[in-house]
Amino acid sequence: MAVRVTGSAQLHTVRQALRDVGDRGLGGQLRRGLKAAGDKLAPAVRAEVPRAMPSGYAPTLSRSLRFRTVTRETRHTAWVTVRVYGDGRKEKRDVPRLNAGVLRHPVFGRSRPLKNHARYKATSQLNPWVAQTVRKGFVDRPADRLMPEVSREMQRVVDWVASQITKG
C-alpha cells in the first residue's frame, strides 16, 4: 500500500520553514507522524486474514505476517509505503499470490509410492501440491478501506508541524 499526500504547496512551505528555522527536531516528528499514520494497516490486515483464508491456515499466516513502513518526502509530496510479507519455516510466504486468491499447499496425508527400482533411492515421493482458491484481497481490502483515513492523518501531521513552526 502506498499513500501519497499532495498538498504540494503546504508541504513545500513546511519543508522550507523547517530548513529556515534549523529543524529543531520537527523533521523527525514529521517522519514519525507520517509513519504512525501508515502503521494502522497492520492490525486491519491481521483482522482480515481469518475472513479470507481457510481456518487451518489463518492462524499460521496471521502469526507470520510482518510489516515494514517506509516514509519518503520530497519537496512537494510525502509517501508512506507499507510492505507486507510473511516469514515461513523454510522460505518467505507468497503474500502477493495469497492476496490474488491462490493458496498453494501440499495435499495433507498423501504420498505417492514409488516402484521398486534400482535408480530410485526412496520408497515414496513427497506429497503433491495443489493450488486452492481463497478470497482475494486480504491486504487490498483493508488498505483501500483505510486509505482516506491515513491520508487525512498525514495531512493532520503536516498541519501540526506547520503550526509548530509558526508558533516559533
The answer as to whether 126 is a domain residue is no
The domain of 142 spans 2-87+137-167
pLDDT digits (tens, 9 = 90+) for 41-68: 899 999 999 999 999 899 999 999 999 9
Question: Is the separation of the CB atoms in 97 and 118 below 8 Å?
Answer: no
Residue 3: is its pLDDT beyond 60? no
What was the pLDDT predicted at 39? 85
Largest CA distance in the chain: 84
Domain assignment present for 60: yes
The pLDDT, as a whole number, for residue 50 is 94
Flag whether 104 is in a domain. no
* Cα–Cα distance, 102 to 89 (Å, whole number): 19
Could you report the per-residue pLDDT of 15-45, keeping only the tens digit for each?
Answer: 667 666 665 667 777 788 888 888 888 999 9
Backbone φ, ψ for residue 121 (5° rounding)? -95, -20
**Residue 128 located in a structural domain:** no
pLDDT band per the 50, 70, 90 thresholds, residue 142: very high
Average pLDDT over residues 134-163: 86
Which pTM does this prediction carry?
0.72
Q: What is the pLDDT of residues 106-125, one digit of tens each?
A: 887 766 666 666 566 666 66
- Residue 38 forms part of a structural domain: yes
Task: Give the chain's mean pLDDT.
Answer: 79
* Average pLDDT of the residues in 73-89: 80
User: In the structure grid, which three cell numbers stand for residue 97, read together?
Assistant: 499470490
**Is residue 53 domain-resident?**
yes
Q: Which residues of 105-137 are buried (b: 16+ CB within 10 A; e: fewer)?
A: eeeeeeeeeeeeeeeeeeeeeeeeeeeeebeee
Label residue 157 exposed, middle or buried (CB < 10 Å: 0-12, 13-18, 19+): buried
The count of domains in the chain is 1
CA distance 73 to 88: 33
d(CA 148, CA 150): 6
pLDDT of residue 114: 63
The pLDDT of residue 137 = 92
Report yes or no: 11 and 23 within 8 Å, Cβ to Cβ. Answer: no
Q: Is 99 contained in some domain?
A: no
* The pLDDT of residue 112: 65
Does residue 58 form part of some domain?
A: yes
Query: Residue range 136-145: average pLDDT?
Result: 92
Higher pLDDT, 90 or 168: 90
